[in-house]
Structure formats: C-alpha cells, structure tokens
Chain A
C-alpha cells in the first residue's frame, strides 16, 4: 500500500470542519475578506484547544491562500506549546540522530539540546538545516553566531521508521511513488545566544549547549568550524526562527512556512528607490542589525574577512540582517497573499494568549504549489515529480526567513524554499555517494541528510 492510500484510509475517519473562521465576506478568487484564526483555538489560555495540525492537514482544500496560512499558524502554535520540562512541544520531537537510531521515546526527559553551527563548504542538506547559502555564518550583534536544530513530528518519525528510511540503503530503495504522509511535519529552528530572557522581545528562550568553535586553514583557506570533538558550553538561547514544513491534503510538496519574533529584522522596500545602496534601513539597533545600517550593508556574509575571536565562541564581524521581501511577497503582484499574511498575523496578535510562547511571533510567510494533486500519484507524477516547482509556486513566492536564509534572499535560483527543496534527482556533494532518483522524498533535506550521513564507505571528514 502506498503512502497515499494509507493516508486516504485514515482520512475517512476525520470529520470535515469548516477551516477558517471567517468565510462570510469572500474576497476575489474565493479569498476571505479577512483571514483570521479560529477563536475557539484560544478558549484555554494554556493553548490546550489548539488542534493537532496532523489532523487539520486533511482540511486543506486548496481554495484560498488564507487556508494555508491558517494551517501554518496551527502547526506553529501546536509546536510552540509548552509540554512540561520547560520545553516546547517541537523540542521534544525526534532529532535526526534519534531518527537514524530509531531510539526516540516520547517519555524520555530530554537533556539540553545540542545545537549545530553551519560550517564552511558543506553538503546541501546541511545548508538547509543551518544557514542557507554556501559559506555565510550569521552573526548577531552580540557577536555570537546563530545556531540551529531540527526535529520531525512523531507521525513523520513513525513514517520514516516504518518505511525503512533511516539509512541510505533504505532511502535508495524507496519506490519512486513514495510520499510523505499527510500530517508529517519537519521543524527547523534558529537560535541566537542571549544574555537574558528579554534580549529579543517576544522570543522564547531556554538554556542549550553550544559547541566551542575553532579556526584552521583547510586546503589553504581560513575556515571557522566546529571541531571533531567540541567542548560544549551552556548558554541561554532565543528562538529567532522556526520553519514549519508540513504535508497537507493535495500537496505532496508540503507547505513551507516560517515564523520569527515580530520585527526581527527591518523590511526593505522593493522599488529601485527603496534599494539605493546608501539608503538607511533603520535608525534603531536590533539583535541582528546596527542603527544606521544602509541597504549596501544588508545581508553581507563577509566570509573572507570573518575571523573567530580567541574565546572560541564569538566572531569579529556581525551581520546586518534585512528582510528583502515583506511576507515573502513580490509586490504589488503578490498583494493578495500579502494581505492574507498581514491579516492572519493581526488575528494571531489579537487572539494568541500572552502566556503562550508563540505570542511574540509572527508568520514571515508560507509557500506551496498552486496545483492540488488530489493525492493521486498519476497527477503527482505528471506535475510534481522531477521539478523545482518554480512555475507553480503560490503564496509567498520569494519566501526567505531573514535569520535562516539571510544571504540568499535576492539570489535567483535560491530565493524561495522550493528552489533547493525539490523533487529532482538528489546530487550529494560527495561524488562517491550515488545520487538519488527523482522523488517527492527528496524535498526533505532531513531525509537527504540521513542519506548522506549513512551512506556506506563515506569519509565523514
């Protein structure tokens, strides 16, 4: 039985609900006049009424953009709910190591999460679990680099384990019509080192272990990286970005959504006048930008001149982070989506109880395919297999989270999630590892990283 038929079987048990609380005033193309979150999600100030997005993933019917943004918020709220042990729900979810070893236990009390750093020239999947691009390290204004972690929800864990995709051989052997289950969700988190809980307004903070860094000359080039057996230090970190990648009804390519604390980075306008190099982006300092930063200074990776300080933890140069596309939209052509994101964020600001960790965040945007594949393999094969989706994008079509894809926001061919996360043949950087045939599984770089890391005979160095 393929994933589709299995999912369809389970779907029959779910009662359809009207997804989207405000549908009375319908804007053009079926879009509601005001895209809001259902108020009944928030009757309990602790968030216990927030539904499991794995279930609501079946309610997507591809009729409006608003639906996808509502679901994205649902998945975010659910992931950000406190579940005891001072952890958010997504933090208790399986990591890649636990997935590979099939040893995740929901009842296990998790040790402090060890965070990773994006290193220099590395494999593509690593790019995606760290800072996007090829060589940039995002450095906050306190000179600490930004760290990253990645999780999947329990359903996806079971899905991967059940299909035998926990190692390279299993992934390579997957039939070409393999799909992720509707309701599977990946989470990719970006963490900034902070000195107190209030450093970044609205951001959730926790203690975490971060590796000390080292620098060395690799093939004649100065490189900052994590040593093979790093020393970990405990630091307070703030959640500054969270990607939600969720598989929903009719969308085997997943919905790619991203969230950050409100106003995490100033937004640069999109006209030529707005983007004159000498324009000052902000007069106000923030956690990722200095006061008086100009457009020319935005999002510079500074790779050749970046150096590690002697403390092994901070870097000499900070990054000035700017968001180049408001809500991940090209304006004015993406105005409908822009309105939806603004409306749903306004709704969240009004409705999300202040005691929830999610209260300080807003959606940066979400992107998906404009083709409802009806969960039919023949349609998926025809329209969505072996493509980059670039001619079928909808929603936030130039979506980048400014603290996760800082350096690629205006790079043609890398200016939205699906440019890199696609269903083409997967080509690992290491030429000794065989490529993977085109597959919808290749969308998940969590899975692709498992493939690379567990490939036989690979020199991990």
Chain B
C-alpha cells in the first residue's frame, strides 16, 4: 500500500551564520504569538525564537545560545519532518484527517521505519539573474505597474546582472545608483555555457542516510560543497554521479575575499536520532572577482586587476554570496524491505540572519503566499473564503465571502500584534507606541468599533487609480511600500479579515491545522513580506502561481509546494554546467523551478542591501516630502533597546534606543560622495562603506524577549520587553532619533547626546 507522505515545512528557511560547528534550529513557532495557549501573556516567551540545538521539543534559545564559544554567530538550521497522512487528502485545505510524524522506529501503515535517506541540492544563481528594479513598471496594465511581477508581464524581463560578462571588461553600469542598469540579455544569452559555469554556485545533489541506531548529529554532516555528489533513484538506491559542482574559486584566480574564503560551501545538513533532517545555513560570506577576469577567453583587453566596487545596494556586478536554495526530498525505508520515495520535494532557502526573530512582520511571507493561493484561479486554495480573480493580473478582481468568519487570534490579532512589536526595532514616538499598545491589547471580546476605526488608519491595498499607496500618515503600516508604491499595505486577504472583524464577524480562535501544516504556516509567518524590493527572505515571486506545484489537490503534493523541475542527474557530466537559467517569473511554465531559482531574486550580495535598507524616503516620493520611513523594520531592525542599558538602569526600561548597526564605521560624515548617503539622517544606522557590512554582519546583536535572557529581572512597569543582546559592535555611534525623522535633520552622535 502506498502511503501519503509529505515533507514539512513545504518551504523552509535556514539562515547564515559564521559559527562553523554549531547552530540553532529555525523556529517552528510564529513570531510574537502565544505558544502554549490561545491567550497572549506578556510573561511567557512568545513565538519566533529559534530552538536549542539537539532538542526535539520546544526549547527556545536563550541569549547564551546565539553565539559559539568564540563569539561567532550560529546559523539557523531548518528542521524537516516527514508526516504520514492517515487517509489520502481529498484536496481540501486544511487536511481533515490525522497525521503521524515519520521517524526512525515509528510504525506507519503497519510497517516500522528503519531508514530515511534525505537528498538536497543547493545552488546560487544570483550572478546570472535579472536585476531587481525599484521603480514602477512601465506596464501599467499589470497591477498598475506595482510589484516585481509587473516587470515580467507580457514576456518582459528586466536587465541582467553581469550583463557583459564574457564580452567586456567594462562591466560598470552607467549609473550605479539607479535601478535599471545592467544589460538586456535574452534568456538564450543568459543560458550561455560560459555564464552558467562561471556565475553559478552549485553544490550538486547530496544524500544523507539516517538509520535506526546509526550515527546522528555532527557525525552525519554532509557539506554542500564540492565533495562527491549522489542522488536517490526511484528504487531507493543511492547513485553517485560525476556532477559539475561549481564554486567561485574553481574559475576565478584572484577573488576579493573580505572573509578570507573563496566561498567553498553553501551550508550543510545532518540528521537527529529520529531521522529528521537539519539543513544548516551557509557561512554567510561574499567574494568578488577582479575586473580582468570578467572576460574569460575573450579577445578584448583584460582590464585592471582590481575587484569590482560594491557600488549598489541590490545589484553588484562582479560579486558572489553564498546564499542558496534548493529541493529537499527523501526516501523512507521500512522493516519489510520496502521503500517509498517522496516525489514532491520540500524546499529550503538560506536567507540573512534574523536579528529580531520575535518581532513580527506586519506583512509576512505567509500573508503573501496565502493571499496568492486564495486569489489565483490556478491555485484556488479555499473557494469558500475567496473566489479567485484574474489569472493574468495578480488575482485582481477576486472576491471574498462576506459571511466568512475569520479567527480573531490567527487572522486579525496577528496584524495588531505586529504593529505593536515594531516599537522594538524602530524608534517610534510616544504617541505611536501608545496607539500600538492599545491595539495590541485588543481581545476577541473587544468591541471593534471602540478600538480601531479601520478605514481611518489601515491603508487600502487596492492598487487601482484611487489607491492609497502614496498616502503616508495617518494610514498604516507606516513603512515603505512595494516596488513602485510609496507605502506598504497589508494584503487583500489581511484587509478582508480586518474588515470582517470590524463588522463583528470574527470568531475568537480555531487552530485546525495538522502538525505539518502548522509548521508550513508558522515558518512562513516569520519571514518578511510586503516590500519586495527585493526583501530579505523571499521576494515577489511568491505571488506567482507558476512558482508553485499547482497540482496541490493531488494527495502526494499538497499546498504551498514549489513547482520543482524534475532533474535527471544521470545526464550530468563533470565539464558541463547542469543547471539552466531556470524559472522565469510571470510565465505559464509548470514546475520549472531549479535549485537556486528562489534566492537568485535577492540582493547580491545580500549584505549591501541589509546595510542600506534601514530608512529611506519613499519611492515614488510624495511631493516635497522630507520624511524618512523604514524598509523592513522587523527583519532588519533599525533601532533597538539594549539589555545593557536595561541592566545599567537597575533593570528598568530605558526609552533611548540605539541603532542595531552601530559603532566604528557607521557614523555619517558630511560630504559622502554616494548620493545614498548624502543626507545625514538618510545614512545613519548603517555602514558608510558597504564593504564594512561584509565583515561585520555577524557582530550585530539580536533582540529577544526579556524572559528569554538568562538572569533577566523583570521591570514590573514593562512586563514585555524585547532587548538587544550579544552585540559585538562597539565604537562611536550616531544618536537614534524618534520618528518623524527628516532628511534635513542634523545628525548627532551618542556622545553628544550624553553631554560629552
């Protein structure tokens, strides 16, 4: 009998860290939300924290678990679990039956699990990908030109990173500070073998066996490097393959290596004693090649032996990083010598570190994914909730069931909670803090009309001509918007849930997800959504129905699975790059996603974008505006309250915040030649030289709930605080100013503010 087996989470997230031998487990709980009950309690540790390494139950980390003994930042490892579905799912989400976790020794369908062979394939295609436009698309027919998909509508593509690689030694864009640079290569040109062999990092397929009574933990570790590759065949056997692994040092002779590595690994994987898989994030480094190596085999002059400059926040030609993504599959073996291959993989993406894991994003990737799955006719996740709209325009015209009753805690309070938690990663003024605290205090029993007049304060996500995307205060969220939109909006589905609550149609709570489905959801709730220019964890492609396996009602597939391309590793040969350009957004190609196709849409290297995206003026900027707003405040904390201040103030709250990115190299000085940093307030809270972020990101501290900090003494007046710990950044810093912050404001140092 064939079982229905699925790997969860469907999409997982590991995170980079420079500690080589230890890690923390990526959170399976949801940022900011209660963990053990349906009632928020400020004295209990809320969700979002990673779990201690080596534990299988819920064991949130303390501040002492974030770094190794040498002070290096631990990466996050995504834990993958296999669940057996008791009866084949009938195409309804959530699943209505019972699920059982498939672990070594467990009895599934009357058989005992004896062995699990995991397979993973990590790659990074960032350097052979399109740039990330920040301006609205000229194609206004698609979503009014807003959002990344609009740039791919009607078979268009943006320009290409490293567009003249192999053809010129003059790769510098004409205007390094504007989006729209790069070269307009065709997909055929991008598929050029030289480009694919030089510009792609590919660790190839790796397998890992977990067996009852066998090794586990570090003893099973397999690195995603140039070591031998193997894959699992349909009969369960493991086949080695001469796979063309690719790393920068293989091709480039003179790499600029700020971290003294040529990028030799995309992370690793290991198992626990129960056979679960842990995919460990990459070291998090970057390296650049020299200008004179930009034209391998070409006939033009070699150019200089200098490295390419880091002159852009998002798209830096001549650079690699070691972010990655790829499919996770498994084969389960039983005591009757049978085996079952799980054909439809999960997917893992290695993203930036999470420096405020409990601070919830107002719009998360879950909100985006769920929104698309409801509104796209090819996905149609829950027609009883939402009748999908136009497949050719981002689900435009989808309609929601007016009688639908959302769950207050999961569907409504999540937004309120996120709004409140922003105070721990931005420097809000007292009025904003008070107003957000009030909505955080809203309960299922509260009278909606009393607390929040929805239409007054929540920006309508409508993207038509009468949109509110260019209207700042008092509309919320008070953060920068998606590509082409000045300000952020909640998703249509979030907005609908808020409307239903405001109309008195919400019910208190009702978690109906199975364990695997809950991990799917919780994992995605911890990721940044909304502002995809490009974002931090994943980007606008999560709105594309063709990113996913649309056959989700097939019992062996299920919802939210990436539409993985079937790869025939038997055809691989050592000297020919194996992966192609792969997935192209906004096409109608089913199951075309290869390893490396998700993270390729993120910044290159990620460090420069993380550095820059603290605060900006909106784009497009409202007339005469001089006010700065935050990019991704939950995922890229700007201003934090420090535990050090708290302790120094006799364990009482200190209202003065500090920049999360601070210390030597971060202070703004007048006269910066980079327009990005020309105005002081536009430039504080980040390194003035992008290169400095490449060598300091692992020293940034992490904000966590006080109760999770060892030795924490609670301030009775402020029972729920999220305080920064484990920052290794020191030196003089600029002073963090409460919002509103104007580009014309003067910048002060912390020393000046302290009267020194």
Contacts and interface: CB of A to CB of B under 8 A. Distances in A.
A408 B740 contact: yes
Contacts of B745: 300-301
B624 A415 contact: yes
A414 B742 CA distance: 12
Which 10 pairs show the lowest CB-CB distances between chains A and B?
Answer: A220-B654, A413-B473, A121-B430, A304-B753, A429-B434, A412-B625, A425-B453, A431-B438, A219-B655, A431-B437
- Name which of A134, A222, A302, A427 has the most chain B CB atoms within 10 A of its CB: A427
Given A220-B649, A307-B755, A413 B748 contact: no
A367 to B, nearest CB: 15
B434 A430 contact: yes
Interface of A: 121-124, 133-135, 218-222, 296, 298-305, 307, 330, 386, 388, 390, 398, 408, 410-415, 419, 422, 424-425, 427-431, 434-435, 437-438
A424 B452 CA distance: 10
B351 to A, nearest CB: 32
B627 A413 contact: yes
Contacts of B437: 431
A159 to B, nearest CB: 25
B450 A124 contact: no
B548 to A, nearest CB: 38
A431 B434 contact: yes
Interface in B142-161: none
B431 A386 contact: no
A390 B456 contact: no
B655 A302 contact: no
Contacts of A222: 753, 755
Contacts, number: 129
A424 B456 contact: yes
Interface of B: 429-431, 433-435, 437-438, 441, 449-453, 455-457, 471-474, 622-627, 645, 649, 652-656, 735, 737-740, 742, 744-746, 748, 752-753, 755
A135 B627 contact: no
Given A121-B430, A431-B434, A435-B450, A412 B753 contact: no
A330 B654 CA distance: 41
A199 to B, nearest CB: 28
A321 to B, nearest CB: 14
Given A219-B652, A305-B753, A419-B473, A431 B453 contact: no
Given A219-B652, A386-B455, A435-B452, 17 more contacts: A121-B429, A121-B738, A305-B752, A305-B755, A307-B755, A330-B624, A410-B744, A411-B626, A412-B626, A412-B627, A413-B472, A419-B474, A425-B453, A427-B438, A429-B430, A431-B441, A435-B450
A304 B735 contact: yes
Contacts of A408: 740
Given A220-B654, A221-B654, A305 B748 contact: yes
Nearest to A298: B744
Nearest to B450: A434
Nearest to B486: A412
B643 to A, nearest CB: 13
Contact of B453 (A221, A415, A438): A438
A412 B472 CA distance: 7
A101 to B, nearest CB: 27
A398 B453 CA distance: 27
B453 A411 contact: no
Nearest to B623: A330
Contacts of B453: 386, 424-425, 435, 437-438
Contacts of A390: 471
A218 B473 CA distance: 28
Nearest to B473: A413
8 contacts: A133-B740, A221-B655, A298-B744, A300-B745, A303-B737, A307-B755, A429-B435, A434-B451
B431 A123 contact: yes
Nearest to A219: B655
A301 B746 CA distance: 9
Nearest to B437: A431
A424 B742 contact: no
Most B-side CB within 10 Å, residue of A121, A301, A307, A386: A121
B452 A425 contact: yes
Contacts of A431: 434-435, 437-438, 441
B434 A425 contact: no
A419 B755 CA distance: 35
A411 B742 contact: yes
Contacts of B457: 424-425
B450 A386 contact: no
B742 A435 contact: no
B673 to A, nearest CB: 16
A422 B456 CA distance: 11
B656 A220 contact: yes
B740 A134 contact: yes
A221 B452 contact: no
Contacts of B655: 121, 218-221
Nearest to A398: B624
Contacts of B748: 302, 304-305
Q: Identify which of A121, A219, A222, A303 gathers the most chain B CB atoms within 10 Å of its CB.
A: A219
Contacts of A296: 744, 746
A363 to B, nearest CB: 22
A410 B742 contact: yes
Most buried by A among B433, B624, B652, B748: B624
Nearest to A121: B430
Contact of B456 (A121, A221, A412, A438): A438
B652 A413 contact: no
Nearest to B617: A412
A98 B414 CA distance: 44
B431 A429 contact: yes
Contacts of B739: 134
A135 B748 CA distance: 15
B654 A300 contact: no
B25 to A, nearest CB: 35
A411 B738 CA distance: 14
A435 B740 contact: no
Nearest to A412: B625
A262 to B, nearest CB: 26
Contacts of B625: 410, 412
A350 to B, nearest CB: 33
A304 B752 contact: yes
A123 B438 CA distance: 14
A388 B451 contact: no
